[in-house]
Amino acid sequence: MKTFKVLGGGCRNCEVTADLISQAAKEAGVEIQLDKVTDMAEILGHGVMSTPGVVLDGKVVHAGGIPGPDQVREWVKG
């Protein structure tokens, strides 16, 4: 199972990013764990300065803006 973390303060872009990941996993029939991280110390601990950030299995794969749908599908399937 893949583990995703969406890093951000709970802004609209963070919510959209989390929804994109959930929807892509559902469409692909892949089970994931999705956590939303709003703690700034933890966000900065990942080295993310611009949110939303996405961490996949402990590695930052995106930061600063909503990721594209194709990119999200690739994370879920890859």
Q: Which residues are catalytic?
A: 11, 14
- Nearest to residue 76, comparing CAs of 36, 17, 28? 28
- Nearest to residue 30, comparing CAs of 69, 78, 76, 74? 76
* Longest Cα separation, the chain: 33
